[in-house]
Amino acid sequence: MGSTIRAHEPTTPTPTLSPRTLQNLSVAGGQPYGHDVSSFQGNVDWRTTAANGAKFVYVKASEGTSYLNPYFGQQYNGSVGAGMIRGAYHFALPNNSSGITQANYFVDHGGGWTADGTTLPPMLDIEYNPYGANCYGLSPTAMSSWIHDFSNTVFSRTGRYPTIYSTTDWWNSCTGSDPSFGSTNPLFIAHYSSSPGVMPAGWRFQTLWQYSDTGTFPGDADVFNGSMTRLANFAADPVQAYYRSLGGATSYLGSPVGGEYTPSAGGLAQNYTSGSIYWSSSTGAHAVHGAILARYQGLGGPAGVLGYPTTDESVTPGGTGRYNHFAGSGGSSIYWTPTTGAHGIQGAIRAHWAALGWERSALGYPTTDETVTPGGVGRYNHFAGSGGSSIYWTPTTGAHEIQGAIRARWAALGWERGQLGFPVSDEYAIPGGRRNDFVHGSIIWTPSTGAIPTYT
């Protein structure tokens, strides 16, 4: 890993941390430091390495379909014997054979995974070609296809999508800035500097960072982006690790029902007697249960517009309701109260509701899911605000709220299908009253006149 980096990318000096510093960082709950090794390091003194502060290691298992690391057994088994978390990696040669073939070769020769809490997910080392053209003579489309084949094959055989090791420059150049792996594959970024730098297309953050090709430990110097507890969870089955953290069978979720499954590309899920846990590499693991779970599944679950959950079920600030947030485009949520039930809200309508104060605003809680207007032009959510309240959106007007007497008058005139059309403003104060503007006019309300429309 990283043998080609210095020859192709600018680097800046990074400090070599002493064993005492590394030990102190781990004791203090800081980011765990580790390394990666290959046959170049030979037999490693693992007890000394662990004593010096190394918490994890990736070990080269294979390259192409004709090379196996002769020291793999000593390195892979010796490291875990010294109390470290370890994983195996494959050096890709995409011009040598297919992604499927190399994935099978890798898994057959040490690249497997078990949910034992000491085995990191399998990893693909995809970087500059040390033997020829940087991108191995493949077009960006062909390279992305090769990586997908490798990744999907590893997943089908191990239940984990492989971590991808690369650099931002290589990835964006050789895959054409393909963003499609960020939701499935953890990122191991190589960047020899004081920070991980800009992420490759598709990833918002790195899971691991190779910050130097020299250091206190044998091989390259790496750091995990999180605590030691999170590293252990990363090594374990993420769904089961989260279930255990909630209390397992004694938690509100109850006992498992069936086995883990893939509800949509890039994720895992497990059902329980009283809820479910959903996981993806970009959102982590979160629990959904009760009426919110029922509505979530009714809206398509992770494969629907809401996407994977980004929070567990939480109590609203006022204590009346509950909600889960999700990863849907533009943000998405389900909110529930005993009187309104559970309803989904997303995108621009959700953003406007949030700007108005969420459920604590005059609109209150949603009483419908986001719904397409009868003419198909716009979308809306209704809310529980006094006298009725709504937010309507179209691509041209944006999202605007309407409530109370003005909303009632607009509804009596035919909603957005009436002569006024969609709202183009929120309700706002005018001398002596309130007003909403519409595409073709306004409705003005005063205590003495009620709500009166005017047309343009």
Catalytic residues: 36, 125, 127
Element (H, E) at 6: helix 5-8
For β-strands 163-166 and 187-190, DSSP reports them as parallel
Can you tell me the distance from the alpha carbon of 190 to that of 187, in angstroms, rounded to the nearest whole number?
Answer: 10
DSSP at 309? B
Matching residue, tokens 């252990």: 232
Per-residue b/e over 208-241, b at no fewer than 16 CB within 10 Å?
A: bbbbbbebbbbbbbbbbbbebebbbbbbbbbbbb
- The structure tokens listed for 326 are 């999700």
Q: Is 380 exposed, middle or buried (0-12, 13-18, 19+ CB in 10 A)?
A: buried
- The residue ranges of DSSP E strands in 117-194, in sequence order, are 123-125, 163-166, 187-190
Looking only at the bridges linking them, the beta strands covering 85-91 and 275-280 are unpaired
Strands, sheet with 398-403, edge to edge from the N-terminal-most edge strand? 371-372, 379-383, 389-394, 398-403
Given the structure tokens 């990893």, which residue do they identify?
A: 123
Burial pattern 154-189, b for ≥16 Cβ within 10 A else e, equals bbebbbbbbbbbbbbbbbbebbeebeebbbbbbbbb
Cα 72 to its chain centre, rounded Å, is: 32
| CB neighbour class for 265 (10 Å; exposed up to 12, middle 13-18, buried from 19) | middle
CA angle 47, 49, 210 (to 5 degrees): 145
Contact 335, 343 (CB under 8 A): yes
Query: Which of 168, 169, 172 lies closest to 188, judged by CA?
Result: 168
Whether the CB-CB separation of 247 and 238 falls below 8 Å is answered with no
Residue where the block lists tokens 């080609």: 4
Q: Give yes or no for a contact between 188 and 167, defined as CB atoms under 8 angstroms apart.
A: no
